[in-house]
Structure 1
Amino acid sequence: MTDLDAFLAGASVDDAVAALRPDYRAFLIAVDGLPASFSGASNASDSTVEGLLVRAERSAAELLATTPVEETSHVAAWREAYRAFGAKPQRTRNSLEALLRRVGVAGSGLPRVNPLTDIYNAMSVLHEVPIGGEDLNAYAGTPRLVRATGTEPFDTLADGKPTIEHPDVGEVVWCDDAGVTCRRWNWRQGRRTQLSPHTTAALFILDALAPITDDAAAAAGDELVAHLRRLGSGVRVARRLIPTTPTTTGTAAQETRA
């Protein structure tokens, strides 16, 4: 069984990222005891998860009825953050913007992937905060948010085929000891740590910039945890907030529950 507290204790946000956006905070939620059959199954018959997605789609539609996606306050903040490290937000959109555009601009609605992914995507839209989900057991070491050297490997797909890419120098990336797990802060997740039908332990990362407050981000985390706990009686949860201060590797896990 994973030591969730120890895993979160090793997570860090590099000072170079803090200097780029002093308002950034990482809210980490580590979970184990997930039923693998549920995390990989189709959610076509699961009314609870489908209901969350529909609720999120309606919320996004209401938001975008009066405001273009790129002008919503949370998306605009992330566009500024992307520009700060040299990314072009018109070409590489943060995960929140990408989801909102599927509802508003594309009109196709939120994707239906698997229950774990669907739950955190719905929470992302409902609370207007980028959220990523990773297979915790696939990690080599602990998660770190850094500015890339450009040599780190990133396991992804190109033209439908597995390939290794490398981030741009100075790009903000989540990584572990084996390479990049998510490029451009919250743009694209890698294949190695992606959620799968075999996922029984997961890491969820909530990326917060102003105007999102700590309380608002915590509320998103609370609702996410509530839905994860409904997946099974053996689900255990630990949480940690990492503020962008000169010392970002302080005490871990604000909560651990059996």
Structure 2
Amino acid sequence: MAKFIITDEFWELFPQAEIAVVLAKGIQNTEAHVADVRQEINELLQRSSKEATKFLTEEVFSENKVISVWRKAYQQFKTKKGVRCSIEALLKRIEKGTGVSLINPLVDIYNAVSLTYGLPCGGEDIDTFQGDLLLTKAVGGELFLALGDEEYDNALPGEVIYKDEAGAVCRSWNWRDGQRTMLTENTANAFLIIESVDPERKYDLEAAAASLAELTKKYLGGTVEIALMNIVNRELTL
């Protein structure tokens, strides 16, 4: 069976990182399935957006701790100019008052969890993976077509990415997902991930993973499994 493997190259950069994975299998991520509870999911996202203002206590946006720790992390590897982590992108919307758009049930759920806990959350369709999924440093040139793009924008040498045998799955750690592996209404088996580079937030990470698993099962059905990964526990069977 395929595995998720966090490689030595990653741990050399971020030995204190902790990553929570939720494997959600046999889910129904369709609007038809959640029709009776769609308003609950919408309200969950709205509440989390309001709650997220607790992370914005500094006058200078980049000096808020949940953002500054990721700014520093992104300085440790090659990125495109202006690339920011996913939680910063969400919190920027909160700061500006533009709100977070609805996408599909599972993405809306993990965005709500991300905002509630101030941690990057993401997700991919397991059934689209080719071979093992790696969190590693790019060789360079790994194929990548980002969400919303029409042209390929491939990985840079030394960039931290998620990748499989077909190319990059998510670029610059958690900046942009690719079209090939994105969560859709057809997704039945999902790989959900929450990342932390702040050792002080271990319990927040664990609580976020538990919440993500609970909400996914509650609204989308199926089964859920949580794995907490670190420099010692770096492989997971998918």
1:152 counterpart SS class: coil
Q: Deviations over 1:33-62 (max 9, x none)?
A: 11142489789x722111111111111224
Aligned to 1:256: none
Once the 2 structures are TM-superposed, how far is the Cα of residue 199 of structure 1 from its aligned partner?
A: 1.0
Instruction: Look up the match of 2:13.
Output: 20
Alignment counterpart, residue 32 of structure 1, candidates 10, 25, 34:
25
- Matches for 1:5-84 after TM superposition, within 5 Å: 6-7=1-2, 10-38=3-31, 46-64=38-56, 66-84=58-76
Percent of pairs with identical residues: 30
1:142 and 2:132 matched: yes
Structure 1: which 5+ residue stretches go unaligned?
1-5, 254-258
The letter for the 2-side match of 1:243 is N
2:30 and 2:105 in contact (8 A); partners too: no
* Letter in structure 1 aligned against 2:39: S
Q: Does the residue aligned with 1:155 lie in a helix, a strand or coil?
A: coil
CA distance in 1, matches of 2:166, 2:33: 25
Matching residue's letter, 2:116: L
Alignment of 1:37-186 (within 5 A): 37-38=30-31, 46-64=38-56, 66-87=58-79, 91-104=82-95, 106-156=96-146, 160-161=149-150, 163-186=151-174
Q: Could you list the runs of 5+ residues in structure 2 that have no partner in the other structure?
A: none
Aligned to 2:234: 248
Partners of 2:9 and 2:49 lie apart in 1 by 36
The offset of 1:101, in angstroms, is 0.3
3-state DSSP of counterpart to 1:164: coil
Q: Residue deviations 1:164-186, cap 9 Å, x none?
A: 22111100000111111000000
Partners of 2:209 and 2:59 in 1: CA distance = 25
Shift in CA distance, 108/27, structure 1 to aligned 2, threshold 3 Å: same
Kept in 2, the 8 Å contact 1:39–1:198? The answer is: no
Asked if the contact 1:39–1:114 (Cα under 8 Å) also holds between the matched residues in 2, the reply is no
The separation in 2 between residues aligned to 1:93 and 1:145, in whole angstroms, is 18
State how many pairs are aligned: 238
What is the rounded CA distance, in whole Å, between the counterparts of 2:190 and 2:32 in structure 1?
10
**TM-score scaled by length of structure 2:** 0.90
SS in 2 for 1:231: helix
Residue 120 to residue 36, structure 1, CA distance change in 2 (3 Å): closer
Comparing 146-155 and 208-217, the one that deviates more = 208-217
Deviations 1:53-83 (A, max 9, x none): 1111111224325554311212111111111
- RMSD (Å), alpha carbons: 2.4
8 Å CA contact 1:173–1:183 kept in 2: the answer is yes
What whole-Å deviation, never above 9, does each CA across 1:97-130 have from its counterpart, x for those lacking one?
00000010x3201121111101101100111110
In 2, the alpha carbon distance for the partners of 1:252 and 1:11 equals 6
In 2, the alpha carbon distance for the partners of 1:216 and 1:65 equals 18
TM-aligned CA deviation for residue 243 of structure 1: 0.5
**Is the partner of 1:84 in helix, strand or coil?**
coil
CA contact (8 A) 2:78 2:157 kept: no
Name the CA distance, whole Å, in 2 between partners of 1:19 and 1:42. Answer: 46
Amino acid at match of 1:128: G
Runs of 4+ in 1 over 4 A off after TM superposition: 39-43
Helix, strand or coil at the partner of 2:146? strand
- 1 CA distance for matches of 2:107 and 2:15? 29
- How far, CA to CA, are the matches of 2:194 and 2:67 in structure 1? 14
